[in-house]
Amino acid sequence: MAELRDSNLDKITIIQQAIASCCGAIITSLLVTPLDVIKTRLQAQSNPFPRGKCFVYSNGLMDHICVCENGDSKAWYKKTGHFKGTLDAFVKITQIEGIRSLWSGLPPTLIMALPTTVIYFTCYDQLSEALKSRLGKDNEYIPVLAGSLSRFGSVTVVSPLELIRTRMQYRKLSYKQLCTCISSKVATDGWLSLWRGWSSTVLRDVPFSAMYWYNYERFKKMMCKEVGAHEPTFFIAFTSGAASGSIAAVITLPFDVVKTQRQTELWESETLKIPQSACTSTWAVMRKIVAKNGIAGLFAGIIPRLFKVAPACAIMISTYEYGKSFFSHLNEK
């Protein structure tokens, strides 16, 4: 039986890796964003968002905390509608508001998703190659280490951008005003204040990445061996990505629930000047949720999360693998 071919990273440049991951993020956002626009509109219809409160907009790649305002509104949650279900919402939004309305949440997604994805996937591949030379290419813990470290790095680098984007989203600030605002915050609370909310993101995303890459590499090797392929096909990468993403999403869901609650509280504290509750640590919030709603409270929203994460992981990784294969073959010519 043919063995899975070694990585093509020696045949492509880091720039080509970054382009492949960037294309994957754009395609994933284009395909998955309409699903969350429809979900959010259905949610707003059945349970209207009160003015001044926050909710999470997420498409599987990125989370965005949004405030409910009067006047100029976010098209993906504010417009009214009478929808009977997902398909009905898709048809009516397209007919009444135009097809572009399904991508209302795309700009904030791309602003954060592109740098995060480029750093994350490029670092993963580079770390994997470095670890293979030290630990041996068949070491099964390489995906765990590379996935954890690359996610830790990308979250840490992009975390201040999230805080900046949040402030720009709430108030229209010029770049000069934004710099003044950030300088004032740093002078008052120190540089570490730019990484508020970082810990809860790391607690969710690092374990997710460790499990995702471990299972993805295993599923990919198993399927390649089963069909006798030297390298993963688009279908193999797509299926492996969906399966591994689903497993990781279910296991890390409690941390996602905690992160969402902490993130909305932080948002309100930063922008609406609503005092945060005393329970600000991840474990304190987790105990609070269990006391109020039981263990089931930590797994709230499992179905919507799977519907977002599974296709997003599948599309992203299969597009990325295809991009690397494309550049590898292009460089051989």
Contacts for 27 with CB less than 8 Å, ≥ 6 apart: 315, 319
Task: Give alpha helix (H) positions in 98-197.
Answer: 106-135, 142-170, 175-189
pLDDT score recorded for residue 217: 94
**In this structure, how many other beta carbons lie within 10 angstroms of the beta carbon of residue 102?**
23
Residue 3 confidence (pLDDT): 46
What's the confidence (pLDDT) of residue 1?
A: 36
Hey, what are 17's tokens? 């890796």
Low-confidence stretches of the chain (pLDDT beneath 70): 1-10, 46-47, 49, 51-55, 57-62, 64-65, 67, 69-80, 105, 108, 162-178, 181, 185, 197, 263-280
CATH of the domain spanning 12-68+81-265+281-332, picked from 1.50.40.10, 3.40.605.10, 1.10.390.10, 1.20.1280.50: 1.50.40.10
Entry pTM: 0.81
Q: What angle do CA 66, 68, 72 make, to 5 degrees?
A: 100
For residue 57, the SS3 value is strand
How is residue 51 annotated by DSSP?
A: T
Per-residue buried b or exposed e for 6-16, using 16+ beta carbons within 10 Å of the residue's own CB: ebbbeebeeeb
Q: Quick one: pLDDT at residue 106?
A: 78
Supply angle C-alpha 38, 39, 41, rounded to 5: 65
